[in-house]
Amino acid sequence: MNIGALIIGDELLSGKRQDQHFNHLQSVLADRGLELSWTIIVGDEAAQLERFLSFSMASDDLVFSFGGIGATPDDRTRQSVAKVAGVELYPHPDAVVEIEKQFSEQAYPNRILMSHLPFGSRIIPNIINRVPGFSFNHHHFMPGFPEMSWPMIEWVLDHHYPDLKNLSPQDEQIIYVTYGRESDLLPVMMKIVEDYPTVRLSSLPHIGEVPHVELSLRGHSDLIEEAMALLKVAIEQANLTWSTQLDKK
């Protein structure tokens, strides 16, 4: 299962606020042996939201979404999800109960609008103010406030995906090719990608005092050993040198 993050808010794109969700979500997933496959930051404009929700909701990806589920006119996530899914918004009975218990008669007429969720949703409890987030299939929509949404991430993983663990590559080998160029090693890199599809190859060129290429292979240890052996032979045949530690002298 691929895992994605949808981070919503004009204030992030304008620079009024800095995103905090990306790094935190990475950390939570890493603790479970998981990692993100993609992340999108998008503003509050309805057409843009619908565009990216159409992309993500067409997949079976597990998606954590942050922001835009309030009741003000610039909060359009609930409405956009309903439109993309082709369902109606309706007062979700569990969400109504939570909001009424928190705010009593002050829930009406405005706060109760946050209980209007796409038909088929399930609520995500909010331990701060009981205004819930919601899940729609494998998409999980939470407030933009970290103090509310971060406990929701843990709740979703614990309650809906308790066995989803250790999908990230467990092993990694890194070597450094000093004064090398990626173009010198392109044929062997292409061969590794073709022959070892479950091994993740990364090539990071660096310029500076000691130009070098950082080559990383991640995956099952036996396959990494085989692919790395091919890589090292190709490096030596190109009259280049490799090392497991970068010598900056």
**pLDDT confidence of residue 249:** 56
- Mean pLDDT per 10-residue interval, the chain, length 249 residues: 94 94 96 94 94 96 97 95 97 98 96 97 97 98 97 98 83 91 92 93 89 91 92 93 79
Residues in the chain: 249
Q: Where are the domains of the chain?
A: 3-160, 171-243
- Which amino acid is located at 125 in the chain? P
Cβ atoms of 57 and 141 closer than 8 Å: no
Please give the single-letter amino acid code of residue 13.
Answer: L
Task: Please name the residue that has the structure tokens 């597990």.
Answer: 62
pTM value? 0.83
Q: Is 130 left (phi over 0), alpha (psi -120 to 50) or beta?
A: left
Q: Give the number of C-alpha atoms closer than 13 A to the C-alpha of residue 20, restricted to the C-beta side.
A: 10
Q: Half-sphere exposure of 185 toward its Cβ, with a 13 Å CA cutoff? A: 31
- The predicted pLDDT at position 180 comes to 85
Query: In angstroms, rounded to a whole number, what is the distance separating the alpha carbons of residues 208 and 176?
Result: 14
Pairing of strands 139-142, 133-136: antiparallel
So what's the architecture of 171-243 in CATH? 2-Layer Sandwich (3.30)
What's residue 5's pLDDT? 98
Q: Measured between alpha carbons, how far is 58 from 86 in angstroms, rounded to an integer?
A: 12
CA–CA distance, 150 with 171 (Å, rounded to integer): 28
Look up the CATH architecture of domain 3-160: 3-Layer(aba) Sandwich (3.40)
